[in-house]
Amino acid sequence: MTATMERPTTTVHPRAKRRRLSDGPLSTRIILTAVLGLIAIYFLVPVYWLIVSATKNSTDLFGSFGLWFAHPQLLTNLGDLFSFDSHIYLRWGLNSIIYAGGGALVATALAAGAGYGLARFSFRGREAVFNTVLAGVMLPQTALALPLYLLFAQAHLANSYWAVLLPSFVSPFGVYLCRIYADASVPPGLLEAARIDGASEFAIFRRIVLRIMSPALVTVFLFQFVGIWNNYFLPLVMLSDTKLYPITLGLTSWQGFASRQPLLYQLEVGGALVSVIPLMILIVVLQRFWRSGLTEGSVKA
């Protein structure tokens, strides 16, 4: 894991210069597109099924062909979904946003400070700290969830917002990314100049360093946001009050009752679709941030 000094910005090469199969014969291009199309079907069909099924009533969900519409009633279904059990679904959605948004925000701030501290200051034990954090990246999150529950239960913090939020503030992978990025992009000369001008260390960090590191910070935020949003084990272990559930936990709790209350199948499908849409938009729109940050992570691994 030696961090080489290297500009973080991926140099963009004119597409014309790159040799591509598309320069080849037409048949190659057609075959390639066909293969990509087939693979795309694999990735998209389940999402398509979800959209089609979200428009069906409970009877058609089981009684009609899954990949085509039957008596579409999306608005009725959404109304049912949002009003069921005194709007519990909206509450779950809000909880998910609190956990993922709050957790990712704090995690990014902590990782930015730690990454910058590791990259631009030398002190005894620096590499030991960094290696411990790296070991944290390798640690299965689920191995932590059980002991965390036991600790939180003793502190009377289990079954609260803090039980999910506090562990989400820690992103070892974020520290790793931030260190690599700060190492490569924050010019030591600029820091020296700011110090000579009399700026305090914190002001330098806030006004200069954070701005330079912003692409990496967006990446860390996205990683952590999706990670928390998708996490299941931690809230499952920590929470018993359904009002505190994130969407993921709420939907599986419906799954448990669905065999007795078939309406829940329909709500589950609709709830799954609604919960997936914001995240899908987020990750597709922000793809270029995934890319810029991911390069930093993988180049030096």
Partner 1 sequence: MATTKRRRLSPGIWFLAPFCLFFLLFFVLPIGYALYQSLFRTERTGLYGELGTHQVFAGFGNYAKVFAEGAFVQSVLRVLGYAVVQVPVMIVLATVLALLLDAASARGVRFFRSAFFLPYGVPGVIASILWGFLYTPGISPLVSIGGHLGLTPDFLGPNTVLWSIANIVTWQFAGYNMLVIIAQLKAVPGDLMEASRIDGANAWQAIWHIKLPLIRPAIVLATVFTIIGSLQLFTEPLVLQPLTANVTSTYTPNIAAYADAFSNNNYNYAAAEAVLLALIAAILSFGFLRLVGGRRRG
CB of 202 to partner 1, least distance (A): 8
Q: In b/e form, how buried is each residue of 4-40, taking b as 16+ CB within 10 angstroms?
A: eeeebeeeeeeeeeeeeeeeeeeeeeeeeeeeeeeee
Applying the rule CB under 8 A, the residues between 97 and 136 that interact with partner 1 are 110-111, 113-114, 116-118, 120-123, 126, 129, 132-133, 135-136
Stretch that binds partner 1, among 12-20, 77-85, 86-94, 210-218 (CB under 8 A): 12-20
Handedness of CA 61, 64, 68, 69 (dihedral sign): negative
CB of 170 to partner 1, least distance (A): 5
Question: Contact, 297 vs 220, CB < 8 A?
Answer: no
For residue 40, state whether it binds partner 1 (rule: CB under 8 A).
yes
Site pattern 14..33 for partner 1 (x: CB under 8 A):
xx-xxxxxx-x----x--xx
Stretch that binds partner 1, among 69-77, 79-87, 210-218, 233-241 (CB under 8 A): 233-241
Q: Which is nearer to partner 1, 32 or 74 (CB)?
A: 32
Distance CA 30, CA 20 (A): 14
CB of 243 to partner 1, least distance (A): 18
Site pattern 258..297 for partner 1 (x: CB under 8 A):
-x--------xx--x--xx--xx-xxx--x--xxx-xx-x
Applying the rule CB under 8 A, the residues between 160 and 179 that interact with partner 1 are 166-167, 169-170, 172, 175
CB atoms inside a 10 Å sphere around CB 83: 12
Applying the rule CB under 8 A, the residues between 187 and 226 that interact with partner 1 are 188-189, 191-192, 201, 205, 226
Applying the rule CB under 8 A, the residues between 42 and 71 that interact with partner 1 are 42-44, 46-47, 49-50, 53, 61-62, 65-67
CB of 49 to partner 1, least distance (A): 7
Q: Which is nearer to partner 1, 74 or 274 (CB)?
A: 274
Among 34, 90, 94, 151, binds partner 1 (CB under 8 A): 151
Among 104, 239, 251, 264, binds partner 1 (CB under 8 A): 251
CB of 15 to partner 1, least distance (A): 6
CB of 300 to partner 1, least distance (A): 7
